[in-house]
Chains A and B, each alone.
Chain A
Amino acid sequence: MAGMSAARPPGRTPRLVPAASQMSELPQLVVDGLVSGAVLAIAAVGVSLVYGILHLVNFAHGDYLTFGAYAGLGVTALGLSLVVATVVAIVATAMLAVGLQLVLWGPVRRRRAGLLSSFITAIGLALVLRHAIFLVVGAGSRAYPVDQFSVERLGPVRVSISQLIAISLSIVAIAVIGLLLARTSIGRSMRAFADNPELAAVAGVDVGRIVLATWLIAGALAGLAGELQGLIQGAFDPNMGWNLLLPIFAAVVLGTIGNAYGALLGGFALGLVMELSTWSVLGGGIPASYKYVVAFLALIVMLLVRPQGLLGRRARAL
């Protein structure tokens, strides 16, 4: 083996035209980016909806994801299938989100807590949730009973079973969210409320119902995203959702804060930027440890050029 590998030219010469081997990397990186982007997108929609309608920056959203991942794991531990686990993860996390609205966010709102105090409350909730999960499941890492090693070859691309599941479920979820927001009356009311709460209330939109529906959707999506992240990551521990929080927020900002469609777009864009940053065409490849740096640099540049986000309207001068 030694000595058989092609000799490398002394000192890497920068190449403007990608070599064949570099081109063959591209589809793989794109697919990997779409998979991580899908999870970010689904989670970001929830954060964006909650912000748009409740004006709450839910710092605990990452831990909703973790909750969903462990709810699903608990079901598979009972020997039930991944389908049942997915349903339970979605339902349990939606229930958690609605429950927390009833016992925490509702009262906090009634006492007219400001944006900052709600934000701090959310940080506190994040810590409580995460450590409650630590207490129950322990610190060790766990995995779903899915083969992490085998891959399907789709042309030049290798996709794991987990990634296939994640992609298909994401497509379904995104289609459902899209239909829900665009076609159903509750979806239309939610968007109306996010655009102009006073006008929506005057027009007879039931605010209490909108709030509960928002949490129900955000929670369900968080549960699904948590399980999918657990799947594609292979092994996960109770810090999983927390570690994902920053990219999720970035996706929300990237796609215009409060805009659900924008959050979807932002999630995919961020996932793609992160994975593609390691492509060897870019100056011989940026070191993989700078993935997040590249992603957030892209975010900053984007916001300098388009401060309103990908789908935002330019602020109107009064």
Chain B
Amino acid sequence: MARGNRLVRVLAVVSALAVAACGGASSSPGTAKFTLKVGMVLPFTGDLATYGPSLDKSARMAVTMVNDALKKDGIDVTAQVVGSEDDQTTPAAGVEAATKVVKTEGAQVVVGSMSSGVTLAIAQSVAIPNNVLLVTPTSSDPALTTLKGKNQLVWRIYPSDLLQGAALAQAMGDTFGKNATINVGARNDAFGTALAQEFERAWRAGGGKIGQEVIYNTNQASFDADALKLASGNPTAWVIADFPPTFAKMGPALVRTGQWAPAKTLMTEAMDNNDALNQIGAPATDGLRGTAGSAPAGASADAFEAAFKAANPGAKFTSFEGTSFDAVVLASLAAVKAGSADPSKIKLQMRAVSGPSGDKFGWQQLPDAFKAAQQGKSINYQGAWGQMAFDKNGDPTAATYVLWQHQAGQTTNLKTFPFGRPR
């Protein structure tokens, strides 16, 4: 791949020189003028309504910062937000919202959505048929990796469950021992079933045992029978893949069985939300632990939170804002490097701007990053969310996780651990 890149670079330089010598204007990276139209499809209502508005704000903040950087560099490219539509955390509404953003508002890049089920629907019914670049901030379903006919149009910032399931198994092994028997509960949707499956595979591979596996429907009238089954069998610990609104029903039902303890349970990133956990109530959440994909802890993360809060006074910081921010920045970098707002050209540059080859540029160094992109260089973008190093399927191969715990009404991070695989 590196050799191929070098060849492309040489060709680009030669053709740029040729064009410069002739004095003619063309669409080579250096001189291209265009507007990149970005649209958001995010959950403003429904199960993930806690997060959608904040991700929308940070995507818009990214567009502003991208435009500031381009202006500073004197690059005649503008990024424009054409609209933000509500997918209601449901596939049907998501497809409707994405259709509006793409067909009516003319977006070339769509940032969305959060829930995997919604993103899969948007990708198949809207993004791929209309040849539009789709960058999902948080969808973690492995099905996105192997989506048929996606033709490099679908990318994600948050790592796949293939990575998260293994990270969860590692955290579980560190906490309860590698040979423990674990009961697994999961909501019956793309996210829940995929996470359960990947955790179980990694857990068994490490020598652990799986007791009960309970996949439960989210819209049912009563969770008691499901809870009874999930709590049974006296396992060492539990893994539960769920979102707060459903766990608000499942959690109390589990407590009522008298056989379950939140302190012996690991959950995933959607539950890493202090307000939601407090609303569900201490008996179901006190001592609860979980993994979460995370921005690398440290100065960069602190600076991003501060920047978000300064740009959006009064807005809630959910800690996922970096995902939609990086989605916008990576698509813009790829567009500038491609010298075009055409999604079929942008998609060919997504890997080249995501690292690990090329010079490193942090999210606070956008003017330098865009200058390098305009010169056609590869970029190792160090995002607000983290390092992507996309593989050929559009999945990040590197990610940082935290192990969080909710105790006495406060969610704190116990430790941060990196997790990665070869690209």
Contact = CB atoms under 8 A, between A and B. Distances in A.
Interface stretch (B20-28, B136-144, B255-263, B355-363): B255-263
B225 A32 contact: yes
Interface of A: 1-3, 5, 25, 28-29, 32-33, 35-36, 39-40, 134, 138-141, 143, 148-149, 151, 158, 160, 229, 232-235, 237, 239, 243-244, 247, 274-275, 277-278, 280, 285, 287-289, 291-292
Interface of B: 45-46, 49, 88, 176-177, 179-181, 188, 211, 214-217, 219-222, 224-226, 228-229, 232-236, 245, 248-249, 252-253, 255-258, 281, 283-284
B221 A2 contact: no
Contact of B225 (A29, A232, A239): A29
Contacts of B180: 1-2
A247 B221 contact: yes
B221 A141 contact: no
Contact of B224 (A2, A32, A235): A32
Contacts of A229: 221
Contact of A5 (B229, B235, B257): B235
A229 B222 CA distance: 9
B255 A149 contact: yes
6 contacts: A1-B180, A5-B233, A29-B225, A160-B252, A235-B249, A291-B217
A5 B181 contact: yes
Contacts of B176: 1-2
B49 A139 contact: yes
Q: Which 4 pairs from chain A and chain B are nearest by CB?
A: A148-B252, A235-B248, A139-B45, A149-B283
Given A148-B252, A278-B226, A292-B220, 10 more contacts: A2-B181, A5-B233, A25-B232, A148-B281, A149-B256, A235-B249, A243-B221, A278-B228, A280-B229, A289-B216
A148 B224 CA distance: 12
A210 B228 CA distance: 45
A289 B177 contact: no
Contacts of B257: 158
A160 B256 contact: yes
Contacts of B249: 233-235
A5 B181 CA distance: 9
Nearest to B250: A234
A286 to B, nearest CB: 10
B222 A35 contact: yes
A4 B257 CA distance: 21
Nearest to A279: B225
B215 A140 contact: no
A291 B215 CA distance: 11
Nearest to A275: B225
B179 A234 contact: no
Nearest to A160: B256
A149 B280 CA distance: 10
Nearest to B43: A139
A214 B232 CA distance: 45
Nearest to B255: A149
